[in-house]
Chains A and B, each alone.
Chain A
Amino acid sequence: MLEFKKPQTLKDKPFHYCPGCGHGIVHRIIAEVVEELGIRERTVAVAPVGCAVVAYDYWDFDVTESAHGRALAVATGIKRCRPQLAVFTYQGDGDLASIGMAETLHCANRGENLTCIFINNACYGMTGGQMAPTTLIGQKTATTPQGRAPQKGEGYPLKVPELLANLKGVVYAERTSVDSPANIIKTKQAIKKAFLNQIEEKGFSLVEVLSQCPTVWGLSPVQAVRWVREVMVKEFPLGKIK
């Protein structure tokens, strides 16, 4: 019999995210993985600065906040001192791939035994929809009103798992999405693998999740899902990169 119930690792609190936002889906996936692996009592999450800063309102395990972009440095400090813990970061694309790129690269390069969940919504959600390093070419944001234009010096969409895959310290890098039940299941499998790698002391694992941000994209939740499927994946192909 199939039973749909809330995992014990989620608090009894409705998500505050906008309707159709991907954050809530990924929060839940992580909660399910932590529960299924039986590691709730030794899990510590490092929340970012971004829409998901208040993740501690939802996850029913130990959580710390971290300064904008520094989640992987904070996670390094926790994990080195208490290696028995399962430590993961949850970061947006502004947090991880812009202001925190140095921390990201060097944490991965040290091969820290950590799990990194990277939410790519192609924009800065929390601050009102500015360009992120992952913003698509031509995509309009608050700071690229004409659409992102590399020829104007606005750069190209940054592909984090591809970049990190070159580093010896990285054992696993995969890109998934949450635009369909099938892809949600794949995301869950990837996140589970990223946790298992840490439990088996293999090294640094990163899962990039393409995540809907209907509010900034100016789309309905249904259109947003379609945009991930039809537009975003062309720039950010799904699958295992390493």
Chain B
Amino acid sequence: MRSKKVFITGNEAIGEGAVRAGCFFYAGYPITPQNELTAFMAKRMAEEKRIFIQAESEISAINMVFGASASGVRAMTSSSSPGISLKQEGISYLAGCELPAVIVNVQRGGPGLGNIGPSQSDYFQATKGGGHGDYHLIVLAPGSVQECFDFMFLAFNLADKYRNPVMVLLDAFLGQMAEAIEIPKSKIQISNYKKDWALTGAKGRAPNVIRSLFLGEGVLEKHNLKLQKKYKKIRDNEQLFEIENRNNSEIVFVAYGISYRIAKEASLLLQEKGLKVALFRPITLWPFPYQALKSLAKDKRAVFVFELSYGQMVEDVRLALGESLPVYFYGRAGGEVFTEKELLNFVEKENA
């Protein structure tokens, strides 16, 4: 496909990707570091004659998305950490009602108001629930501005395919940095999922009902088991990851998003010193690619996990590997970003 090269930020790339993936409805509320995305959508959605609403709060925004999705269109919202906390009840309703939607979290430092620096401290919230009840989001973690663009297609398709909310999880760094990316010149053809469950008016069919309330003995359990079956299908079919330097390496670095870029720089420094490092990047944080990591690490000496948090994804790494080999963790949070030199020093110290 013919494409053009543009130099844009991650936030803008997400917006452009969403528009081209057929997002018809966007609602959001201002919060740094994702304001460029909301402003971008205000402009682009109007150009495309689609719907943009600046909601009165993140709570309202996610519930507008609920309504838009219930009406059968592709709908999304975006925010940053505190705003994403406010959306959690709505996200749980989306999951319970099996409504597709895309939620973008450009993470910032927490807890509380925290700061506006980059962070990966919302991993637990994104992958382990966040809202109430037994549900899962599909969580995609782009690692470049190009992927910010590309993953919006994936996000909307997965949401429609499984009738499930999808979260795109990045950080202030990735959201606000600009890179040159390829954007296809032609309008992209989006795949059409049949939404015969949508609320379009009961014409020539029985009324449709969107609900998450199931009263009566065993009725909710049955619904929950149906959801669990769906989550298993997603686990079996949708794990995404990237591996570099699989062969002839002694140790493994595991990181995602912006941390992966820094970890990769550190691995190059180590390589110069003669230590060969394999790199593992989960792209779907849920479902987490346990098996792929396990098979990569099988003949290695140690695993190093780097996150902009005090250790969240590392729990999934330990779940994947058990006691089979040492797992070392290095992280910084509170809006601070480690350097490749810092990682190098840590590895040399632990690996001595």
Kindly state whether residue A238 has any CB partner on chain B within 8 Å: no
Are A74 and B57 in contact, with the CB atoms below 8 A?
no
Known: A64-B70, A74-B67, A77-B27. A42 touches B201 (CB 8 A): yes
**In the assembled complex, how far is the CB of residue B329 from the closest CB belonging to chain A, in whole angstroms?**
37
Are B203 and A42 in contact, with the CB atoms below 8 A?
yes
**In the assembled complex, how far is the CB of residue A101 from the closest CB belonging to chain B, in whole angstroms?**
11
Instruction: Return chain A residues, CB-CB under 8 Å to B71.
Output: 44, 77-78, 81-82, 85
CA distance A46 to B51 in the complex (A): 20
Instruction: Return chain B residues, CB-CB under 8 Å to A41.
Output: 201-204
Known: A44-B199, A44-B201, A74-B67. A80 touches B51 (CB 8 A): yes
CA distance A59 to B73 in the complex (A): 24
Give the size range of B's interface with the partner. 35 or more
Known: A65-B97, A106-B56. A40 touches B202 (CB 8 A): yes
Known: A41-B203, A78-B199, A102-B60. A62 touches B208 (CB 8 A): yes
Give the nearest-CB partner of B64 in chain A.
A77
Instruction: Enumerate chain B interface residues (CB-CB to A < 8 A).
Output: 24-25, 27, 51, 53, 55-57, 59-61, 63-73, 75, 89-90, 93, 97, 199-204, 207-213, 215
Known: A62-B208, A77-B27, A77-B70. A106 touches B213 (CB 8 A): no
Are B70 and A74 in contact, with the CB atoms below 8 A?
yes
Identify which of B55, B60, B213 gathers the most chain A CB atoms within 10 Å of its CB. B60
Are A73 and B212 in contact, with the CB atoms below 8 A?
no
Mostly, the A contact residues are: helix
A41-B203, A60-B207, A82-B200 given; name 14 further pairs at CB < 8 Å. A54-B213, A61-B207, A62-B208, A63-B210, A65-B97, A65-B210, A66-B67, A67-B66, A67-B90, A70-B90, A74-B66, A80-B68, A81-B24, A103-B60
Instruction: Return chain A residues, CB-CB under 8 Å to B24.
Output: 81
Are B213 and A43 in contact, with the CB atoms below 8 A?
no
Give the A interface residue count (CB, 8 A). 35
CA distance A43 to B72 in the complex (A): 15
Known: A70-B63, A77-B25, A77-B68. A64 touches B213 (CB 8 A): no
Are A85 and B75 in contact, with the CB atoms below 8 A?
no
Instruction: Enumerate chain A interface residues (CB-CB to B < 8 A).
Output: 40-44, 46, 53-54, 56, 59-67, 70, 73-82, 84-85, 102-103, 105-106
Known: A41-B202, A44-B201, A78-B71. A63 touches B56 (CB 8 A): no
**In the assembled complex, how far is the CB of residue B347 from the closest CB belonging to chain A, in whole angstroms?**
47
Known: A67-B93, A81-B71, A85-B200. A102 touches B56 (CB 8 A): yes
CA distance A43 to B208 in the complex (A): 11
Are B207 and A73 in contact, with the CB atoms below 8 A?
no
Are B90 and A43 in contact, with the CB atoms below 8 A?
no
Give the nearest-CB partner of B56 in chain A.
A106
CA distance A103 to B211 in the complex (A): 20
| 20 A/B residue pairs, CB under 8 Å, sorted by A | A44-B199, A46-B67, A53-B213, A56-B211, A61-B201, A62-B208, A67-B93, A73-B59, A73-B66, A76-B67, A77-B25, A77-B27, A77-B63, A78-B67, A78-B199, A80-B25, A81-B67, A81-B71, A103-B60, A103-B63
